[in-house]
Structure 1
Amino acid sequence: MKQGTAQGNEPDATVIEDEPTAVDPLGDGDRLAADQAKKNYAKVGSARPTTLLYTYGPGAVIDLPHFTIMPVGLDDWERIWRRRDSAPVTVHAPRLLETVQLMLGHQVGELRRFPWQPTRPGRRREGDDLGVPARIFPQWLRCTGCDLLAPVSRFVAGYSNTHPYRPDQAVFEHLDCPGRGRRRSGSRPTGSAGRKQGKRRSPCVPARYLLACPTGHLDEFPYDWWVHEGAHCTKAPNPELEMRDTSQRGATAIISCRACGASRPMSQAQGEEGRSRLPRCRGRHPHLGIFDPQGCQAEPRVMLVGASNLWFATTQSIIDMPRLDPAEVERDRVAALGRALGEDRETVGEDVPMARMLLKRGDAEAVGLLGLSNAELIGLLRKLAAPAESEEARLRRREEWNPVDLLVPEWNYLQQEPSGERHEDPASGLVVSPRRLGEMPSGVDRVLAVDRLRKVNAVLGFTRIDDFDRIDDTGARLVPLARGGCPTWVPATEDRGEGIFLQLDEQAVAAWEARVLVSPLWAAHREAHRRNVERRFSETAKEVNPDERFVPPRYWLVHTLAHALIREMAMSSGYGAASISERIYAWVASKSRPAAAGMLLTTTASDSDGTLGGLVALSAPDRLAQVVDAALTRMMRCSSDPVCTRRVPQDPEDFLHGAACHCCTMVSETSCERANRFLDRRLVVPLTGGYTVDGRTVTSADLAFFRDVRLG
């Protein structure tokens, strides 16, 4: 029997069960495929690549219509590719790969796409053998008909998933469910009523409680242990449990043992006091199918299956642009040479003729090396044979790494004036066009239209309980994607789209920044950030210096302006505001990088929707001037004024924004790279009235970068 086709053009989820005797849809699908049966045991749902990257990647819990699953680690993805002869599809992004290697180790050799391929017309079942492997998790289910709480193996006889085109119909059912009436009476109805009741099939849903710890472990909640308060049932070795809900808020379930009558509410597991009643963390990583051999000393806590802090992806992304640094260009050439030589690199040595012969068989980047001289090729061969960077040196570089380092090459390339009206780089596919400023407000220095771009995203791991930027012991808290903690590849996606690059005048920004740094408003924002770090960082994180995590005033300026432009452009570009995202280049000068103050507003998608041209059309001089002017004017008013205008964080407040709210400045989470933090309209345009800091009223107009904006 053949496997079924998943819905939509997205990667599929394939279930791998812990117990081979319970449910093995992938194995069943392979066996059915041999019999050419059109069934659908292997596929249970679908998800978009961006969802699997940012929201529901390996280790997360995905809520399907009838049960929940967890994408497993990268070790199990290999068996998916082994089902066909072709090799996994890789993503070429050297700059991003270097960053991944810096974070995870030099054993990471490539970025791979998800195991999926689009179907072609007339080939609806093409790609059915691919999909993202996952396991049922949590594996405790509750019958909706009689409240029976049991492992999935109890309900395996009621598992059905056979429709070839409807993987969403996969469901576990409790066969011969007696219903709540029989359970309460304790007797079995007789006659026709009993026969009718005996044929009842009740769907089962996941038991919604889990145990998680700050170091990233996740485990099933020990219901049997909990209801018997750490002991065993005195009436039966494997007693039946049930889960009943009350009408109260919070943890409303009550767990009961049908054998001995013991009962205990889940509310006792909540809060600081409830943590002391929970068992020790077992150090389990269910996505890897392993337990930490060293155990875990962290204090676990109860979490719901759908909790938003159950999984935080740690990702890195780049806009693919040509390399300008000679050292980076040389590293790319050495990598291309290494790919072409493969296992023959030791045999080649410094044999240039043999190296040229192998380069002819390589990829396009390797073929491009044939134009180098013999001396240049020998230099690359020697670099390739040189010892690799030591692990100690890599860890030292990682300690010194700053996320800004990933943006600096992009900023440097965007500073180059395009060589023509439409300059295209064949390697990256980037297309940029210069634009005149037109009647742009004073302070905007330069505009580029990015007609076509490629954004590459990779997931490195994930954290639980606390987001990655809320911890400081990244080496210990980052949950790995593969067993052993050393993946040889990581999942990556490619998005293509368009954008507009705006650069502010550096001299004007520096002069404005000097005024802001000595203002009472900036002192209030800095103190609020310190309070925020002290209260909201992970309780298990190392000590951090709040000032090192605080962004400079120019970031607030560019970030707030970017939000205003996103909201304004959405009204004219044909894209929704949630489809336009920002990439902020704003940092002060240092020994390793020049100062930057600019933004790249983009819209990208994994298909052609990101290249419709609606955003680039707004880069025309007169049109963009109108958009910027309208955005600045609109920013001067807010329907929440005067409350929004006067907002300044004062002790004990610790919010990271000033005169900004969802009515005037904040945008969708898909658009903002900082979760709507570090925003203040006062720093961009003059606002009416003033603000109060430490009992003093200060005028807002003095801090505006665009001081000549007038209300229309």
Structure 2
Amino acid sequence: MIRGKIRRSQLVAPFGPGAMQVLADGTSVITAGLDHWFIPGERLDQEEFRIHEWRLERHLGVEALYTPPDYRDSFRSSPDQYNTKLQVPVLRFPAWSFCPRCRALTQHPLHLADRPRCTNPNCPRQKASWAPFLAQVPFVALCERGHLQDFPWVEWVHRAVSPSCRSPKLKLRTSGGGTLASQRVVCETCHKDRGLEGITSVERPNQGDKDETTYLTAHLEDGTEFSCRGAMPWLGLATAGQPCGEPLRGSLRGAANVYYALVKSSIFIPEASSTGVDPRVLEALEEQTIARARANARGVLDDGEVLTASRLRRTARKNAFRLEKFTDEQIEAALSILEGPAAASTELTADADGDQAPFRQQEYTRIRDTIDSTELVVREQEADSANDVGRLVSRVRLVEKLRETRVLWGFNRIFAESSNPDTAARMALLRRRTPEDGESWLPAYTVLGEGIYLELDPELLVQWEVAPSVQNRLVPIAQRFQMVAQERHLVERQVTPRLVLLHTLAHLLINQLTFECGYSSASLRERLYVSPGTDGMNGLLIYTAAGDSEGTLGGLVRMGQPERFEEVLKNAISNSRWCSSDPVCMDSHGQGPDSCNLAACHSCALLPETACEEFNRFLDRGLVAGTLDDPGLGFFSSLA
């Protein structure tokens, strides 16, 4: 039996449905769809894994969010224990394997439970007491729509979409080189052979033509295109019913472009103001067992009927003791917040253009003020900042407690972003059958942490960003990104001085905080709130992103106090004036990922990919602290 262990959060990213991974015994497997994550049965209580995040549920149009199940042995559990022996299924993929000794290619079913051995009677090791284990082939084929299939070995070697060879016997031979040209597939039945050079490449039929195809699609058979068949092996589908029609591209199975998880994140904010309500009551109502009872009671209420305290106590049954110390009036006041009309008044829809600003506007509105709730605690600084800092930074908030929820809502292949995002099509890739009404859900997990929120002075920011010198500084980035967006199928967007300034400032502060408060750069994360105009968003949140491994003991929040924050900010700005790679870094006209950075490199402003929202693009120290030729160009030049 093929088995393996994995962290639950990794089943959201990077090993969600449709993603491949290699187990400890060397077997390559692909995570199955959501249809079989929770198998209905007597001992299943799926509500135990429920994550309550109302904004993401409405934004993505699903009924619920669940954490991936954890495995529990039944012999260690009590007789009334639920959710035992839950496992996330995987399938063995690629289905083709080769013998390391005789190089014979063999195909096996996806549901094969054991590691296969070579059955070739001519294999040299067959004469020994055991046959060698087969190794899975290193190549697969995929398309931009998210489909994935085995590399077409039979069709490729015979140079035909429908080969005439009756019983092909294939071998994968290598000449020992490190390129695809050294790999050849041979058919011993008809004595045909063909190299694998070019199977991963893209080409355009005519020079200057925007439509592109792939070498595999165009050259598998001369005069005939071999396009994608729509295979989805993680769902057990060899085809999608109808041919996909997209160009098919070969790839190494471990290549980074085989799977890009599409994850949506949200900072939890209360559904309504909790003024006048005892926070202990809200905490009790949001506790896992009581929240489950609320959901069960809500499901049997008639239209217009209100959930009462007495009904909730009856529904909670043996867990009703958690509500004993509160009166019915206290509980119903809290229920009016959590279950009342205000909770359902906000309707959010997925953004067709991929713009995150509308979704984050609500976070921005709430987090810039003080909040004291069970999941989000935001405080003001104990004192105002000094004049030189307070003139530029108009607001600083200490986020003593926050909860971030990350949801997997789909995935891409080949390109990390899509120029034509289709939320419904990407969600459909996660499951084989369309869920019935009221049963749609997505996998998610939560991270608890702390953070610092800061906001720039809006009037000074508008005056600065319209300056001609600032606008001209961004021309190389904007032009380069426009070219890259067309070549790499990225979502086109406007690169503004505000975005580059806030993004670079976040990176500089994170790098400085790693020295000041002890967190590693991979443990901190940025969250940008950017939209144009004087009344637009112009804030950023730096928060802990790995609370389970390094803890959240208040170290980051303490750095937000005035005397410490001023020192951190000034040191970050001062250090940004000079990089160890200057003057090359500062005078650059395009460097970093996709050449979409100016004065930003690994020595000064880049961060681990997990900490950055923009793939380390749109960075420039010059707009923060000024350049060598124009020291006054930066927004924070007066602090440098």
Letter in 1 for 2:266: I
Q: Which residue of 2 is the match for residue 410 of structure 1?
A: 363
Distance 1:702 1:472, change over 3 A: farther
Separation of aligned partners in 1, 2:73 and 2:551: 20
Distance of 1:684 and 1:616 partners within structure 2: 24
Equivalent residues in 2 for 1:668-687, closer than 5 Å: 668-687=608-627
Query: For 1:48 and 1:355, how far apart are their aligned partners in 2?
Result: 39
Deviation at 1:52, TM superposition (A): 2.2
SS in 2 for 1:75: helix
How far residue 151 of structure 1 moved from its aligned partner, in angstroms, is: 1.5
- Map of 1:276 onto structure 2: 218
Q: Is the 8 A contact 1:155 1:174 kept in 2?
A: no
CA contact (8 A) 2:450 2:557 kept: yes
State which of 303, 308, 312 in structure 1 corresponds to 2:260. Answer: 312
SS in 2 for 1:409: helix
Cα distance between partner residues in 2 of 1:670 and 1:463:
18
Partner residue, 1:138: 94
CA–CA separation in structure 2 for the residues paired with 1:210 and 1:610? 40
Give the unaligned 5+ runs of structure 1: 1-40, 102-107, 161-170, 183-193, 327-331, 419-423, 539-543, 690-699
Q: Alignment partner for residue 206 of structure 1, among 116, 136, 150?
A: 136
1:660 is the counterpart of 2:607 = no
Deviation, structure 1 residue 444: 1.8
Q: 1:599 to 1:154 in 2, by over 3 A?
A: closer
Deviation at 1:619, TM superposition (A): 2.2
> What SS does structure 2 have at the residue aligned with 1:556?
helix
Residue deviations 1:302-361, cap 9 Å, x none? Answer: 1210121111111111111224589xxxxx99x99993544533xx45566x86653444
**Residue type of the partner of 1:504?**
L
Give the equivalent residue in structure 1 for 2:107. 151
Q: 1:256 to 1:635 in 2, by over 3 A?
A: same
1:294 to 242, 264, 270: 242
* Aligned residues of 1:177 and 1:199 also touching (Cα < 8 A): no
Q: How far does residue 685 in structure 1 lie from its aligned partner after superposition?
A: 0.2
Q: Deviations over 1:201-237 (max 9, x none)?
A: 42322112212111111111121222222277777x4
Distance in 2 between the 1:677 and 1:117 partners?
Answer: 39
1:514 to 456, 466, 470: 466
Match among 515, 523, 530 for residue 571 of structure 1:
515
Matched, 1:223 2:153: yes
The residue type paired with residue 572 of structure 1 is E
Superimposed CA distance per residue, residues 356-400 of structure 1 (whole angstroms, 9 cap, x where no aligned partner):
6534445799988963699x89x969999x9x99xxxx98x7548
Mapped contact 2:146–2:429 kept (Cα < 8 A):
no
Q: 1:417 to 1:370 in 2, by over 3 A?
A: closer
TM normalised by structure 2 equals 0.81
For the residues of structure 2 that align with 1:143 and 1:55, how far apart are their CA atoms? 30
Q: Does 1:627 align with 2:627?
A: no
Check whether the contact 1:57–1:71 (CA below 8 A) recurs between aligned residues. yes
Deviation at 1:433, TM superposition (A): 5.2
Separation in 2, partners of 1:143, 1:126:
44
Aligned partners of 2:408, 2:110: CA distance in 1, in Å? Answer: 36
Q: Secondary structure at the match of 1:225?
A: helix
Amino acid at match of 1:245: T
Q: Distance in 1 between matches of 2:150 and 2:549?
A: 42
- 1:570–1:577: 8 Å Cα contact kept in structure 2? yes
Partner of 2:189: 259
For 1:580 and 1:429, locate their aligned partners in 2 and report how far apart those are by CA, in whole Å: 18
CA distance in 2, matches of 1:446, 1:409: 17
Letter in 2 for 1:114: P
Indicate conservation of the 8 Å contact 2:368/2:453, yes or no. no
Answer whether contact 1:449 1:500 (CA < 8 A) is retained.
Answer: yes
Deviation at 1:252, TM superposition (A): 3.6
1:447 matched to 2:388? The reply is no
1:244 aligns with 2:191: no
Partner of 1:552: 496
Determine whether 1:174 maps to 2:118.
Answer: yes
Residue in 2 aligned with 1:110? 64
Cα separation, 2, equivalents of 1:64 and 1:550: 42
What residue identity is the alignment partner of 1:61?
M
**Partners in 2 of 1:518 and 1:485 — Cα distance?**
50
What CA deviation, in whole Å up to 9, does each residue of 1:32-54 have, x standing for no partner?
xxxxxxxxx36x22222333222
Q: CA deviation at 1:701?
A: 2.3
Q: Which residue of 1 aligns with 2:45?
A: 86
Give the Cα–Cα distance (whole angstroms) in 2 for the partners of residues 252 and 684 of structure 1. 50
Instruction: Please state if 1:46 is matched with 2:2.
Output: no
Structure 1 segment 596-615 matched on structure 2, within 5 A? 596-605=537-546, 607=548, 609-615=550-556
* Equivalent residue, structure 1, for 2:430: 481
Measured after TM superposition, the shift of residue 576 of structure 1 is 1.2
* Residues 98 and 178 of structure 1: CA distance in aligned 2, closer, same or farther (over 3 Å): same
**3-state secondary structure, aligned to 1:623:** helix
Is the aligned partner of 1:531 residue 2:460?
no
Closer, same or farther: CA 224–94 of 1 in aligned 2, 3 Å: same
> What is the Cα deviation at residue 425 of structure 1?
0.8
- CA distance 1:449–1:606, shift in 2 (3 Å): closer
Query: Is 2:528 the partner of 1:584?
Result: yes
Distance 1:574 1:118 in 2: 36
Counterpart of 1:282, as a letter, is R
Normalization by structure 1: what TM-score?
Answer: 0.73
Q: Which of these residues, 64, 67, 71, is aligned with residue 31 of structure 2?
A: 71
Q: Which amino acid aligns with 1:73?
A: G
| Equivalent position SS for 2:89 | strand
Q: Deviations over 1:653-703 (max 9, x none)?
A: 9622111111111110011000011111010002323xxxxxxxxxx3242
Q: Which amino acid aligns with 1:116?
A: D
Relative distance call for 1:381 and 1:621 in structure 2 (3 A) is closer
Q: Structure 2 CA distance, aligned partners of 1:54 and 1:252?
A: 34
Which whole-Å CA distance do the structure 1 matches of 2:273 and 2:418 have between them? Answer: 29
Aligned to 1:16: none
| C-alpha distance in 1 between matches for 2:517 and 2:558 | 8
Specify whether residues 350 and 662 from structure 1 end up closer, same or farther in structure 2 by C-alpha distance, changes over 3 A only: closer
Cross-structure match for 2:212:
none
Letter of the structure 2 residue corresponding to residue 460 of structure 1: W
Structure 2 unaligned spans of 5+:
204-214, 221-225, 275-284, 317-321
> In the TM superposition, what whole-angstrom CA distance separates every residue of 1:264-323 from its partner, at most 9, and x where no partner exists?
111153433443134332111112223322321211111210121111111111111224
1:117, distance to aligned residue in structure 2 (A) = 5.7
Write the letter of the residue equivalent to 2:332.
G
Cα RMSD, aligned residues only = 4.0
Q: Is structure 2 residue 637 aligned with structure 1 residue 701?
A: no
Alignment partner of 1:493: what SS?
Answer: strand
C-alpha displacement of 1:535: 2.4
Indicate if the aligned counterparts of 1:213 and 1:464 stay in contact, CA closer than 8 A. yes
2:259 counterpart letter in structure 1 = W
2:279 is aligned to none
Alignment match, 2:209: none
Alignment of 1:303 with 2:266, yes or no, is no
Q: What one-letter code is carried by the residue in structure 2 that aligns with 1:494?
A: T
**1:502 Cα deviation after fit:** 1.8
Partner of 1:490: 442
Q: Distance between the aligned counterparts of 1:368 and 1:600, measured in 2?
A: 37
Partners of 2:426 and 2:528 in 1: CA distance: 27
Contact 2:71–2:87, Cα closer than 8 Å, also in 1: no
2:581 paired residue among 640, 664, 668:
640
* Number of aligned residues: 588
Q: CA separation in 2, counterparts of 1:355 and 1:577?
A: 47
